[in-house]
Structure 1
Amino acid sequence: MFQGASCETPQEIINIAATAEAFAVTLLGEALASSERGELPLNPEAVGTLRAARAAEQAHFDVLTGAGAEPLTLTFTVPDPELLANPGLFFETLVALEEAFIAAYLAAAQQFAIQGNAEMVQLALQIGAVEAEHRAGARFFAIEAGALSGVPNDVAFEKALFGSVGEAAAALEALGFIGGSGTEISYPGPGEIDTTGVSNLEP
């Protein structure tokens, strides 16, 4: 479905970004619903953090689609059912996903800079910075669950993992979150978006 070309059009970039944001909203919604059912044991602080992260991802999705983005899919897959039952596995996976999102927005910012699109460079950096906050939050709870060690804010520079935004999307496919054989989940996932405590809902 996705191509990892090194030169992407603005439309291709925002389409892929909107797809990733839709996935994030959906996965976080499923995690919160699993917690409410008692299947994914989360403390109140973790629940509040995930609700806020979901609201931010929805805000990103809204801005991207408002700019003309068309998600490539709104149906995703959960490759391992334990992901929504084991807090350590969930947060460790969320850290890896956030690292992919951060790297995708770094690649997007680079592409937009090459194209001379300063407004979209700013948007990519604004979103990527929030994804980095989400990574640190996920690391905090992964450490608390014993899945990771160290400190939540453990990097001085984020990793530039991809040369294109398409490479990030291809990584989600390879991990089984898009077009995989696991349980299908659909955007926006269960439950309402709760923006309590979240500000700057527009760039």
Structure 2
Amino acid sequence: MANHMLTMCLLVFTCSAALAFEPSPLQDFCIADANNSAKVNGVVCKDSKMVEANDFFFSGLHLPGNTSNFLGSKITPVNVVQVPGLNTLGVSIVRIDYAPWGLNPPHYHPRASEILTVLEGSLLVGFVTSNPENRLITKYLKKGDVFVFPMGLVHFQRNVGHGHAIVLAGFGSQNPGVVGIANAVFGSNPAIPSEVLTTAFQVDKNVVDFLQTKF
């Protein structure tokens, strides 16, 4: 009986640890000290006696992003870099602006799920489930709609209206990270060997070479 209880306790502890993506804070706050060179999983706290209101403040999400780029979109992040007070709190937010038919291309966040709210415009959004199904789940969104992208799954958003679109998206991490699929595959430094990509994508080397010049 004792061995059975011990096994159950270890199982519960293991499952709990596996679900704890970011540790719970052990104090009221831990303001990120950008001037500290210590290497930790996160950012070192600055002296609490030096904390001020601006450590928890950001102004700028009311400003439209510049969408004059080849994607027609602009992301304005508010994470621990912009707001040091987010350190250890496990949340962050972004504003995304889209020109007409603008695109936030396929990407994923390795450390957070995302919840997106449409403030203006209409979007086509979607994500792809993991192997072996690789199922594409899509939805057309309008102003006031909310959509969730599970952590680690490739997803995208595209403005399908003739006007500009704006969204706010929240993350369950102070630093969710972002991996752009095209950038990662064709723009890595150093480059992934051509023979790897020609085999993986079943295309000619000239196609791979061309795509690598784009990224």
TM-score, scaled to structure 1: 0.26
Which structure is higher in RCO with an 8 Å CA cutoff and minimum separation 6? Answer: 1
TM-score, scaled to structure 2: 0.25
Report which of the two has the higher share of helix: 1
